Amino acid sequence: MGCGKRSLTTAAVALVCAVTVLSAPGMAYASPSAPTPTPAPTPPSGTTPKSAADLEEVREKLEKLYHEAAVATDAYNAAEEKTEKQSTQLVGLAREIVKGQAKLDRLQDRAGAAARAQYRGGGLPPDARLWLSDNPQQYLDGAGRVRQGEHATKGMLAEMTRTQKDLAQYTKDASAQWRRLEANRKAKAAAKKKIKQRIATAEKLESQLAAEEKERLAKLEEDAAHAAQTAWLSSGVLADINGKASPQGRKAVQYATAQIGKMYEWGAEGPKTYDCSGLTSQAWAAAGLGIPRTSQEQWRQLTHVDVRSMRPGDLVIYFGDASHVGMYIGDGAIVHAPRPGRSVTIAGAGSMPILGVVRPDK
C-alpha cells in the first residue's frame, strides 16, 4: 500500500507541475507573434506592369489566403480556450488526488490502530471472558464499547473503500484530461503552422508587386467591398434596421470603436492588437458580459436575430464557415479587425457575405 500511495501522490504532483509548465508565460497562453514580413524586393527594371485581370487574380488569391488564415485562427483560438479550461480542470483533479491520498493514509492508520487494539483484547470467546471477569458489569460495559468500536471500524472500512474508488476515478479522469490537453496542444500547433504559412504566402505575393500595382490592388479591394455594400443596401434592408442599442450594447460599441487604428494580429485579444473575434469578445467583456472567444462559437452559442432586426452591439457573422465577425454600430456599418496587415476600422456591414447576426445580450 505504501508504494501505491507514493505513486499516486507523485503522479498528482507531476500533473500539477506539468500543467504549470503548459500554462507558463510564453507557452500555452502567450499571444502569438505575427510572422516577420518578407522585405519587398525591388522590381527589376523593365518589368511589365500587371494587367487589370492579373491584379484581379492576385486580389482573389489574397482573399483566399487570408480567409484560410482566418479559419485557422479560429481553430487556434478554440484550441487555446479549451487548453485553458482543461489545464484548470487537470490541476483541480491533481489536487483532489493529493487530498484523497492523504485521507486514505489517515484512514489506514486508524484501521491499523483499531486492529492492534482488537488483537490485544482478543483470544478468548466473549462468554468465557464474561465468566472469568472479576467485574462482570465492567466487562459488559466494555463489551458495549467494543460493539460500538466494531460499528465504527466497519464505517471506517467502508469510507476507505469509497476513498480508494474516488482516487481511482480521479486518476482515470486526470489521464483522460491529459490526453485531451495534448490533443489540443497539437491542434494549436497545426493551426499556428497553417496561419503562418498562409500569411507568409500572401505577404510574398504582395511583396512582388510594384508600388503602383499595390495602389491599384488596394483600389480593387475597395471597389469590391463598395459593390457588395451597394448591392446589400439596394435591397432596402437599411430602411428596416432601426433598433436601438441596449445599455450594454452601447458600452460594447464604445469599446470597439475606441480600438480603431490598432493593428490586426491573429490570436490577439488586446489591448494593443486584436483579431476579429478578439475585438468583439473583449468589447462585450468591457460591457460586463462574457461571450465565446471565437466567431464560430459566437455564431453557435449566441441568440440569432434577423438582419433587419439588428441593433448596435449585435455581431455580424460572415462567410459560410463563420470565420469572420464584426460589430454592428448603426447606419449600415460595422467595426472590425479585418486581417493581417490591416488595422481595426469601420466598414460596410454588407461588404462581405453575411452568414447571420447574433445578439450577446438577448
Task: Return the number of other C-beta atoms located less than 10 Å from residue 180's C-beta.
Answer: 15
**324 part of the active site:** yes
**276 part of the active site:** yes
Q: Computed from CA positions of residues 196, 201, 207, 213, in that sequence, does the dihedral angle turn out positive or negative?
A: negative
Eight-class DSSP state of 134: S
pLDDT of residue 103: 73
Among the options 3, 151, 226, 324, which is catalytic?
324
pLDDT of residue 3: 43
Tell me the β-bridge partners of 305.
Answer: 357
Gyration radius (Cα) of the chain, Å: 33
Query: Which tens digit of pLDDT belongs to each residue from 86-123?
Result: 677 767 767 777 777 777 777 777 766 666 665 555 54
Cα–Cα separations (whole angstroms), residue 220 to 54, 56, 190: 12, 7, 33
Report the distance separating Cα 252 and Cα 360, nearest Å: 10
pLDDT of residue 233: 93
Report the distance separating Cα 248 and Cα 288, nearest Å: 7
Query: What one-character-per-residue DSSP string does 259-307 give?
Result: TTTPBB-TT-BSSS-B-HHHHHHHHHHHTT----SSHHHHHHHSEEE-G
Please name which of 208, 206, 214 lies closest in space to residue 43, comparing C-alpha atoms.
Answer: 208
CB contact at 8 A, 266 and 323: no
Please name which of 193, 339, 362 lies closest in space to residue 279, comparing C-alpha atoms.
Answer: 339
pLDDT of residue 28: 33
pLDDT of residue 30: 34
pLDDT tens for each residue of the chain, 362 residues long: 444 444 444 444 344 444 443 333 333 333 334 444 445 444 444 456 678 888 889 989 999 999 999 999 988 888 888 877 767 776 776 777 777 777 777 777 776 666 666 555 554 455 545 444 556 555 555 555 555 555 556 676 777 777 778 777 777 777 777 787 788 788 888 988 999 999 999 999 988 999 999 999 999 999 999 999 999 999 998 888 888 999 999 999 999 999 999 999 999 999 999 999 999 999 999 999 999 999 999 999 999 999 999 999 999 999 999 999 999 999 999 999 999 999 999 999 999 999 999 999 97
pLDDT of residue 111: 67
Q: Which helix (H) or strand (E) holds 317?
A: strand 315-318
Among the options 3, 17, 226, 336, which is catalytic?
336
Among the options 3, 17, 151, 276, which is catalytic?
276
pLDDT of residue 134: 57
CB contact at 8 A, 56 and 223: no
Query: Which tens digit of pLDDT belongs to each residue from 132-145?
Result: 455 655 555 555 55
**17 part of the active site:** no
Task: Return the number of other C-beta atoms located less than 10 Å from residue 187's C-beta.
Answer: 17
pTM: 0.65
